[in-house]
Amino acid sequence: MDIGMIGLGPMGGAMARSLMRAGHRVSVFNRSADKIAALVRDGATAAASPAAAANGDAVITMVANDAAVEAMVTGPSGIVAGMRTGCVHVAMSTMSVALADRLTEIHTAAGQAFLSVPVLGRPPAAEAGKLFLMAGGAADRIEAMRPVFDALGQRLFVVGERPSQANLIKLCANFMIFSTIEQLSEVFALAEKGGVAPEAVFEILTESFFSAPVHKNYGRLIVDKAFDPPGANVHLAAKDTRLILQAAESLAVPLPFASILRDRFLATEARGEAELDFAVISRRAAEDAGL
Amino acid sequence: MDIGMIGLGPMGGAMARSLMRAGHRVSVFNRSADKIAALVRDGATAAASPAAAANGDAVITMVANDAAVEAMVTGPSGIVAGMRTGCVHVAMSTMSVALADRLTEIHTAAGQAFLSVPVLGRPPAAEAGKLFLMAGGAADRIEAMRPVFDALGQRLFVVGERPSQANLIKLCANFMIFSTIEQLSEVFALAEKGGVAPEAVFEILTESFFSAPVHKNYGRLIVDKAFDPPGANVHLAAKDTRLILQAAESLAVPLPFASILRDRFLATEARGEAELDFAVISRRAAEDAGL
Amino acid sequence: MDIGMIGLGPMGGAMARSLMRAGHRVSVFNRSADKIAALVRDGATAAASPAAAANGDAVITMVANDAAVEAMVTGPSGIVAGMRTGCVHVAMSTMSVALADRLTEIHTAAGQAFLSVPVLGRPPAAEAGKLFLMAGGAADRIEAMRPVFDALGQRLFVVGERPSQANLIKLCANFMIFSTIEQLSEVFALAEKGGVAPEAVFEILTESFFSAPVHKNYGRLIVDKAFDPPGANVHLAAKDTRLILQAAESLAVPLPFASILRDRFLATEARGEAELDFAVISRRAAEDAGL
Amino acid sequence: MDIGMIGLGPMGGAMARSLMRAGHRVSVFNRSADKIAALVRDGATAAASPAAAANGDAVITMVANDAAVEAMVTGPSGIVAGMRTGCVHVAMSTMSVALADRLTEIHTAAGQAFLSVPVLGRPPAAEAGKLFLMAGGAADRIEAMRPVFDALGQRLFVVGERPSQANLIKLCANFMIFSTIEQLSEVFALAEKGGVAPEAVFEILTESFFSAPVHKNYGRLIVDKAFDPPGANVHLAAKDTRLILQAAESLAVPLPFASILRDRFLATEARGEAELDFAVISRRAAEDAGL
């Protein structure tokens, strides 16, 4: 298929390469041009604008935040203005439920197809085509995009007909990750103060009932204090936590654990550690315990 | 080996049978006598007192709470009074860190051997010899008890030289379980109010990053609202939460997530639901969301 | 002085009357025209637009929320477009710190004077000229407005040179009110379950160390369960809580108590009680206690 | 009246002097003898034991904690063993609801009279006879003790027939104090980071809606960072918080604010600041804000 890829950060770049390896033709666009050259060397075509990248069978957006998505979608050279008839906009970055609803309206009003398909997984999984994908939108549209999703992920979950439902579940998954970090951080602090090394606790937990990737990956980061360079930094996680709380607020759902995470992220920003990996919030439980 | 088993509830009874299947000779004691008969039919010998059960190579205690442990250990017909030279007291029920420390003192003062080896797993795992065991105490004593532990569990973790350290880690594991229930409860409430069925969320989570037994077992209970009959009830979990908070308090470790769990358990007791499975605390997040 | 009053709800209407009683000439504007007539009968002049109301010495805005403030300020017939040279915009409603900063920029860019002077007190206090006023902005401008402030309030506090600082302190005061309600609610629930009537606790607290208006006014509402008709409803308080949390987030300040309030307000909205007085959140602590 | 006073710390000593000034005859007992001499110089009689101090019309206990109360009450030379017929035990220190219930049972079984009358106020108020007293027990007994209470306090509140109800309300009052400190701490942190000095916020709050002694006294300590020497230290406040949570647990009442206070006190102990005035927990909100 002919795919436009907008956003060439670590995730978007890896996804573009996975698509090309699977035989798709990929045209790429990025706000800062320097990342385009590398992809062109790998076989991609440079698109002059978001609109130009939307001239094929699908255009994927994988950018930093809500504002960046909106910048790519709107305006005279944006996706909506330039989308070819038959092209589908597949929004894959983490964004707010509210924005996903707004994009749905915009594309629908323009008679265009829109899917929201956020992913679980970091850049190495994107490179290996091993992401988990959560798809929201019309079932037949999702089915038609199967070749694209197969190239990117190990598993596709169809969430619901409303595109934003996929974003809600993606935010739930991130909330699971963040709160697992807090769980583990409290446990490590308690065990360490009781004389049991975090490494030993890590082994006991991850080799018994707590053996999920979320436990192993983030538990490892915390035990090793491996926060620099970050896989994803505190700013990003704090932003996602804000999106979770906003979604919960508009649905009138109290989330006590999420409120604690919010405070952990704010305290971490206040201490000037916001550029580190978000697992660094484990320092808060440790500090509060006097470690 | 000759093993005394004190406490024949669902866990202790299953463990006694696992020991016999592995070829050990088991004498049993229980405060209410009715449970003894069934074990005797299965091949056990009835012991007349805790002291009598401590007349072999090891005596295991698997009783309901701190008070029950103390009742078995002290007094004229208690374990300490009657323990054969060479016998080891292996305390396997969930108890407070403080009591484990006190038992260590008592046995040490009496020149007796003591191990604390709490377990992870419910009765079916005990029946199948598939428990996870966490052992605290002298390394050589633990090693000498291997035949017993092999009959009971799929895996033994050696935690540390101080017996109570195993109890601390067991409490940490329970805290992980309870807080995972709260995590999932908040996520299910949010997703359901956003129009996504808990069943769908359960599948996405447990088949991606959140695939540990703790996610699958407790997520399933919550999605199915399968709280009656209870695997373990709210009273028991509330008691464990109290033990966690006490241990944390004596070590000066704040645990914000544990405080939220405490309130969830209290609110559940206040609503008269304390006899249900402790996963019923998921109703609190649902109610707060107006579901 | 010649004063324009924009926003004639219970607060704005009472303030307009207080100003007239003190001898000021008041022109009034309100989005829904029905409230204008009553004020005109009381001696005010009707203004045709926000711009027209800004044709005197000062124009006061006292409207429901950020969006309403912006609607009055911007546009071809808004305050900025029509403000007479020498007129000062005095924003007195509760609004976000961010909007106060934006208004400061807008007015400064237009060469216009702007003060932010939010108030503490409900409509009867406004009617009696007994509000507390917190003023942010240039000290000389604040001084020049003294005759206006004297007509409205019993006390003026000068907060700082940046107008939004007054809004921050106003939000802090609201946070103090909301969290006092939660304090009292938890205490009443605990005492009542222990057999001591809330009325008795109320007397002991308010006649000893806890004798502030905030204790007496809100404690009375809770004890009497007097939530309907509302002095101010849950929607309004939830909105203010959101503004507090937003201000705290942009300054990277964790506020654990505010997070609990957020959840109380959300749970109250989820139960369909959002039209009641915001002191109704006291029901949450009572319900959680099984009362 | 003939009064025994047991416990001659800053509070008990001041109370003994207030009683003597009002014309009562006071015999005194203290575990460490050094404090007795000063009171004898002031006109008191030394009692040889708690029993000896219970040989008049009333014996008051004002000691550090539950264990100290029990030590004074039980044993061969304790109050119960030596109490004169007609003497009333008036327990005035802060203690657990559970202990108050136990003392009620013990005295009732011995055919003795018992009142629980905890106080609000620090040593200077005790010296001046300006305490607030909360009385639990039989109404006629309380009435008969009026001359004693009049000498000690500015106001007596009769709480209920069960002595422990007075202790519950006393714990509620302490919870109000601690949570007011947290409220103020969060507000000061937020305001300060927004550029408004705590002193200014203190003035605005305490001269408007938040003018209770609890606001003024503790707000002042926080603004001045006057934590050393302590009025009462963190250990004491942490102990009281534990008593509140225990009382709430046995009544099945969730107290989210109290849980946050618990964590604040634990974090403060973990940082080695437990000997300072308990208002030092204000540092936690400040630190979390990066101040």
Per-residue pLDDT at A71: 95
Whether B121 and B143 share a structural domain: yes
Contacts of D211 (CB under 8 A, 6+ apart): C211, C212, C213
Which of A122, A138, A161 terminates a domain? The answer is: A161
Q: Mind giving me the DSSP string for A206-271? A: HTTT--SHHHHHHHHHHHTT--SS-SSBHHHHHHHHHHHHHHHHHTT---HHHHHHHHHHHHHHHT
Taking CB atoms and an 8 Å cutoff, what residues of chain A touch D266? Answer: 288
Task: Among C155, C157, C205, select the one facing D176 at the smallest CB separation.
Answer: C205
Say yes or no: A262 contacts chain C, CB-CB below 8 A. Answer: yes
Whether D185 and D119 share a structural domain: no
Predicted confidence band of residue D32 (pLDDT cuts 50, 70, 90): confident
CA A223, A227, A228, A229 dihedral sign is positive
**pLDDT at position B33 over 90:** no
**pLDDT at position C33 over 90:** no
Instruction: Please give the Cα distance from C241 to C34 (Å, whole number).
Output: 31
Is the backbone peptide bond immediately before A198 cis, with ω within 30 degrees of 0?
A: no
Q: Span D146-175, mean pLDDT?
A: 97
Listed in sequence order, the DSSP H helices in C58-207 are: 66-73, 79-82, 97-109, 123-127, 139-144, 146-152, 163-193, 198-206
Per-residue pLDDT at A61: 98
Chain C: nearest CA to B233, how far in angstroms? Answer: 19
Instruction: Please answer whether residues C35 and C12 qualify as being in contact, where contact means their C-beta atoms are separated by less than 8 angstroms.
Output: no
Torsion angle of C-alpha atoms B189, B191, B196, B201, degrees rounded to 10 = -90
DSSP annotation of D230 = -
Query: Is B249 within 8 Å of D259 when comparing Cβ atoms?
Result: no
Q: Span D223-245, mean pLDDT?
A: 95
Instruction: Please answer whether residues A188 and A169 qualify as being in contact, where contact means their C-beta atoms are separated by less than 8 angstroms.
Output: no
Say yes or no: D269 contacts chain B, CB-CB below 8 A. Answer: yes
Query: Is D254 within 8 Å of B262 when comparing Cβ atoms?
Result: yes
Average pLDDT, chain C: 96
Task: Among A172, A190, A290, select the one facing B172 at the smallest CB separation.
Answer: A190
**pLDDT at position B34 over 90:** no
Say yes or no: C254 contacts chain B, CB-CB below 8 A. Answer: no
Whether C34 and C101 share a structural domain: yes
Task: Among A269, A272, A289, select the one facing D270 at the smallest CB separation.
Answer: A289
Instruction: Please give the Cα distance from B274 to B251 (Å, whole number).
Output: 29
Query: Is B254 within 8 Å of D269 when comparing Cβ atoms?
Result: no
C243, C266, C269: which to substitute to probe chain A, counting the most A Cβ within 10 Å? C266
Q: What is the CATH number of the domain that holds A26?
A: 3.40.50.720
Closest to C84 in 3D by CA, of C49, C59, C47, C109: C59
Whether D14 and D145 share a structural domain: yes
Whether D15 and D143 share a structural domain: yes
Phi, psi at D91, each rounded to 5°: -85, 115
Per-residue pLDDT at C32: 86
Say yes or no: A288 contacts chain D, CB-CB below 8 A. Answer: yes
Say yes or no: B237 contacts chain D, CB-CB below 8 A. Answer: no
**pLDDT at position B231 over 90:** no
The set of chains that have 3 or more CB pairs under 8 A with D is A, B, C
Predicted confidence band of residue C34 (pLDDT cuts 50, 70, 90): confident
Task: Among B266, B269, B289, select the one facing C270 at the smallest CB separation.
Answer: B289
Query: Is C289 within 8 Å of D120 when comparing Cβ atoms?
Result: no
Predicted confidence band of residue C264 (pLDDT cuts 50, 70, 90): very high
Query: Is B270 within 8 Å of C290 when comparing Cβ atoms?
Result: yes
Query: Is D252 within 8 Å of B260 when comparing Cβ atoms?
Result: no
Instruction: Please give the Cα distance from B63 to D281 (Å, whole number).
Output: 40
Chain B: nearest CA to D266, how far in angstroms? Answer: 5
Instruction: Please answer whether residues A193 and B254 qualify as being in contact, where contact means their C-beta atoms are separated by less than 8 angstroms.
Output: no
**pLDDT at position A90 over 90:** yes
Taking CB atoms and an 8 Å cutoff, what residues of chain C touch D260? Answer: 256-257, 260
Taking CB atoms and an 8 Å cutoff, what residues of chain D touch A283? Answer: none
pLDDT tens for C70-83 read 999 999 999 999 99
Q: Span A143-158, mean pLDDT?
A: 97
**pLDDT at position A32 over 90:** no
Per-residue pLDDT at D211: 98
Residue of A nearest to B203 (CA): A157
Contacts of D287 (CB under 8 A, 6+ apart): none
A27: helix, strand or coil: strand
Which of B161, B185, B203 terminates a domain? The answer is: B161
Instruction: Please answer whether residues D174 and D244 qualify as being in contact, where contact means their C-beta atoms are separated by less than 8 angstroms.
Output: yes
For residue C27, give both structure tokens: 């022109």
Phi, psi at C23, each rounded to 5°: 95, 5
Whether B228 and B272 share a structural domain: yes
Torsion angle of C-alpha atoms A116, A121, A126, A131, degrees rounded to 10 = -70
Length of chain C: 291
Residues of A with a catalytic annotation lie at: 170
C79: helix, strand or coil: helix
A272: helix, strand or coil: coil
Question: Residues of C106-134 as b/e, b for ≥16 C-beta within 10 angstroms?
Answer: bbeeeebbbbbbbbbbebebbbebebbbb
Average pLDDT, chain A: 96
Instruction: Please answer whether residues B246 and A158 qualify as being in contact, where contact means their C-beta atoms are separated by less than 8 angstroms.
Output: no
**pLDDT at position D33 over 90:** no
Query: Is B266 within 8 Å of D248 when comparing Cβ atoms?
Result: yes
Distance of CA C145 to the CA centre of its chain: 19
Question: Residues of A63-80 as b/e, b for ≥16 C-beta within 10 angstroms?
Answer: bbbbebbbebbeeeebbb
Listed in sequence order, the DSSP H helices in C22-113 are: 34-41, 50-53, 66-73, 79-82, 97-109
Task: Among A253, A264, A266, select the one facing C253 at the smallest CB separation.
Answer: A266
Say yes or no: C46 contacts chain A, CB-CB below 8 A. Answer: no
Closest to D73 in 3D by CA, of D86, D60, A57, A7: D60
Say yes or no: A38 contacts chain D, CB-CB below 8 A. Answer: no
Chain D: nearest CA to B12, how far in angstroms? Answer: 29
Residue in C35, C130, C170, C193 annotated catalytic: C170
Chain B: nearest CA to C272, how far in angstroms? Answer: 8
ipTM above 0.90, yes or no: yes
Taking CB atoms and an 8 Å cutoff, what residues of chain B touch A255? Answer: 186, 190, 285
pLDDT tens for B102-144 read 999 999 999 999 999 999 998 999 999 999 999 999 999 999 9
Task: Among D270, D271, D288, select the one facing A270 at the smallest CB separation.
Answer: D288
Contacts of A54 (CB under 8 A, 6+ apart): A4, A79, A82, A83, A84, A87, A89
Query: Is A212 within 8 Å of B207 when comparing Cβ atoms?
Result: no
- Structural domain containing residue C45: 2-161
Beta bridge mates, A160: A136
Chain C: nearest CA to A239, how far in angstroms? Answer: 11
DSSP annotation of D233 = B
Contacts of D253 (CB under 8 A, 6+ apart): B266, B270, C186, C189, C190, C193, C288, C289
Whether B30 and B147 share a structural domain: yes
Residue in D35, D170, D216, D239 annotated catalytic: D170
Phi, psi at B49, each rounded to 5°: -160, 165
Sole residue written with tokens 């409303």: A162
Beta bridge mates, D158: D135
Query: Is B259 within 8 Å of D255 when comparing Cβ atoms?
Result: no
Residue of A nearest to D260 (CA): A260
pLDDT tens for C172-187 read 999 999 999 999 999 9
**pLDDT at position A231 over 90:** no
Listed in sequence order, the DSSP H helices in C207-290 are: 213-224, 234-250, 256-270, 282-288
Contacts of C233 (CB under 8 A, 6+ apart): C274, C275, C276, C277, C278
Torsion angle of C-alpha atoms B126, B129, B131, B133, degrees rounded to 10 = 120
Sole residue written with tokens 């405060």: B31
Say yes or no: A182 contacts chain C, CB-CB below 8 A. Answer: no
Closest to A19 in 3D by CA, of A53, A68, A50, A60: A60
What is the percent of chain A with per-residue pLDDT over 90, rounded to a whole number? Answer: 96
C95: helix, strand or coil: coil
Per-residue pLDDT at D72: 96
Instruction: Please answer whether residues A72 and A41 qualify as being in contact, where contact means their C-beta atoms are separated by less than 8 angstroms.
Output: no
Instruction: Please give the Cα distance from C221 to D41 (Å, whole number).
Output: 52
Residue of A nearest to B136 (CA): A196
Instruction: Please give the Cα distance from B262 to B257 (Å, whole number).
Output: 9
Whether A236 and A192 share a structural domain: yes
Whether B73 and B157 share a structural domain: yes
pLDDT tens for B62-92 read 999 999 999 999 999 999 999 999 999 999 9
Phi, psi at D175, each rounded to 5°: -60, -40
Query: Is C266 within 8 Å of A253 when comparing Cβ atoms?
Result: yes
Phi, psi at C94, each rounded to 5°: -75, 120
Instruction: Please answer whether residues B16 and B26 qualify as being in contact, where contact means their C-beta atoms are separated by less than 8 angstroms.
Output: yes
Per-residue pLDDT at A33: 84
Chain A: nearest CA to D215, how far in angstroms? Answer: 25
Whether D92 and D213 share a structural domain: no
Whether B233 and B92 share a structural domain: no
Say yes or no: B254 contacts chain C, CB-CB below 8 A. Answer: no
D199, D210, D253: which to substitute to probe chain C, counting the most C Cβ within 10 Å? D253
Total number of domains constituting chain D:
2
Predicted confidence band of residue A245 (pLDDT cuts 50, 70, 90): very high
Residue in B130, B170, B225, B239 annotated catalytic: B170
Q: Mind giving me the DSSP string for A109-129? A: HTT-EEEE--EES-HHHHHTT
**pLDDT at position A241 over 90:** yes
Contacts of C42 (CB under 8 A, 6+ apart): C16, C17, C20
Contacts of A43 (CB under 8 A, 6+ apart): A20, A26
Query: Is A266 within 8 Å of C256 when comparing Cβ atoms?
Result: no
pTM of the model: 0.95
Closest to D103 in 3D by CA, of D145, D74, D138, D139: D74
Query: Is D195 within 8 Å of C258 when comparing Cβ atoms?
Result: no
Taking CB atoms and an 8 Å cutoff, what residues of chain C touch D266? Answer: none
For residue A124, give both structure tokens: 């190495």
Which of D161, D186, D214 terminates a domain? The answer is: D161
**pLDDT at position B32 over 90:** no
A155: helix, strand or coil: strand
Instruction: Please give the Cα distance from B57 to B273 (Å, whole number).
Output: 42
Q: What is the CATH number of the domain that holds A230?
A: 1.10.1040.10
Whether A220 and A130 share a structural domain: no
Helix (H) or strand (E) holding A41: helix A34-41
CB neighbours of residue B202 within 10 Å: 22
Predicted confidence band of residue A250 (pLDDT cuts 50, 70, 90): very high
- For C103-108, the CB contacts below 8 A with 24+ separation are C103/C69, C103/C73, C103/C163, C104/C162, C104/C163, C104/C164, C106/C73, C106/C74, C106/C80, C107/C80
Is the backbone peptide bond immediately before B163 cis, with ω within 30 degrees of 0?
A: no
Say yes or no: A76 contacts chain B, CB-CB below 8 A. Answer: no
Query: Is D288 within 8 Å of A272 when comparing Cβ atoms?
Result: no
